[in-house]
């Protein structure tokens, strides 16, 4: 992926990362969170998709032509339990767990792959447009393509059933990237932003933001660190703890965070 002119519009809409103040057109509040634990993360992994495979194991889809993989990693150590490379013509993108199989997108190749939990490929499908992020809400897949739209996709036929346009107040939120579904909401990384949008799936309304700008300041940068590419990306949800696991492209750390309840609601 490359920086596009629309990025300037996004930055204007979100305000400076970590500022804690929203643009007048962007009304959703910031959620408070606290760090639970840090874990090692492969600094060579260009993270495009992240999901919890089971207790203590993560599914990670990594991109870049000639280096794309789908892997299952041990959460505590960050080490690979099993992995499969993609052919060099494919750029791996979002991935999610659907029952007893894993679905993975590619970027510009309009191709998706289906694997069993041993990472044996058991299916392949086509889709229109670009593939960026992918999540599963228990009934349908949710797919992003870098625009302000999210698409609902049948997990059997892979046909698109509908879409929503994501906005915060009057501001369309473009560059939606890696996705996770949790607690009835869609969590979306916004490319080249330090924030995660929390989206109401029925309406596309951003009801809150999670600002994670401080995370990338908490670890030493590798020698080949590129701030243009090595950005926040990757969200996995643990339904048992209610915590999120987050990381970035080529980040040497993965973070477990807990969202704090919104005042008066009892819910994050």
Tens digit of each residue's pLDDT (9 = 90 or more) over 201-251? 999 999 999 999 999 999 988 888 888 899 999 999 999 999 999 999 999
Q: Which two tokens stand for residue 147?
A: 């625009």
**Separation CA 169–CA 192 (nearest Å):** 21
Q: Supply the pLDDT for residue 129.
A: 95
Query: Two tokens at 205?
Result: 């309304």
CA gyration radius, the chain:
17
Which band of pLDDT confidence, cut at 50, 70 and 90, is reported for residue 10?
A: very low
**Helices and strands (H, E) in the chain, number of each type:** 1, 22
- If you average pLDDT over residues 247-259, what whole number do you get? 96
Is the pLDDT at 132 greater than 60? The verdict is: yes
pLDDT at 17: 32
109 sits in the region (left: phi over 0; alpha: psi -120 to 50; else beta) called alpha
Q: Which two tokens stand for residue 186?
A: 């869609």
Say how far residue 8 (Cα) sits from the centre of its chain: 21
pLDDT in tens, 149-208: 999 999 999 999 999 999 999 999 999 999 999 999 999 999 999 999 999 999 999 999
Tokens matching residue 194: 């330090």
Say what the pLDDT of residue 267 is.
56
DSSP code, position 217? G
Work out the mean pLDDT of the chain and round it to a whole number: 89
DSSP H/E element including 62: strand 57-62
In the numeric block, the tokens 């643009």 are attached to 23
Domains, the chain: 6-259 (2.120.10.30)
Distance CA 125, CA 134 (A): 14
> CA-CA-CA-CA torsion for 71, 81, 238, 116, nearest 10 degrees?
60
Contact 166, 177 (CB under 8 A): no
- Asked whether the predicted pLDDT for residue 1 surpasses 80, the reply is no
Which of 130, 90, 80, 139 has the alpha carbon at shortest distance from 113?
90
pLDDT of residue 55: 78
Task: Express each pLDDT in 17-61 by its tens digit.
Answer: 332 333 434 589 999 999 999 999 999 999 999 999 987 999 999
pLDDT above 90 for 2:
no
114-133 as b/e, with b when 16 or more CB fall inside 10 Å? Answer: bbebebeeeeebebeebbbb
CA distance 50 to 39: 14
């Amino acid at each position: 992926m490359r920086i596009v002119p629309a990025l300037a519009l996004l930055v204007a809409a979100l305000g400076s990362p970590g500022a804690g103040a929203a643009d007048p057109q962007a009304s959703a509040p910031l959620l408070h969170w606290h760090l639970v634990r840090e874990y090692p993360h492969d600094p060579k992994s260009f993270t495009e998709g992240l999901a919890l495979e089971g207790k203590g194991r993560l599914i990670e889809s990594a991109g870049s032509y000639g280096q794309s993989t789908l892997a299952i990693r041990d959460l505590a150590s960050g080490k690979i339990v099993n992995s499969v490379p993609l052919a060099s013509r494919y750029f791996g993108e979002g991935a999610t767990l659907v029952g007893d199989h894993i679905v993975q997108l590619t970027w510009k190749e309009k191709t998706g792959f289906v694997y069993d939990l041993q990472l044996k490929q058991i299916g392949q499908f086509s889709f229109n447009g670009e593939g960026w992020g992918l999540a599963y809400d228990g009934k349908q897949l949710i797919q992003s393509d870098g625009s302000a739209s999210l698409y609902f996709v049948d997990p059997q036929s892979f046909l698109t059933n509908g879409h929503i346009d994501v906005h915060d107040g009057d501001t369309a939120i473009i560059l939606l990237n890696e996705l996770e579904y949790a607690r009835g909401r869609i969590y979306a990384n916004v490319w080249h932003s330090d924030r995660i949008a929390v989206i109401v799936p029925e309406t596309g309304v951003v009801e809150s933001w999670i600002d994670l700008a401080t995370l990338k300041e908490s670890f030493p940068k590798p020698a080949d660190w590129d701030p243009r590419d090595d950005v926040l990306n990757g969200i996995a949800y643990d339904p048992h703890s209610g915590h999120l696991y987050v990381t970035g492209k080529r980040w040497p750390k993965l973070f477990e965070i807990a969202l704090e309840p919104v005042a008066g609601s009892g819910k994050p």
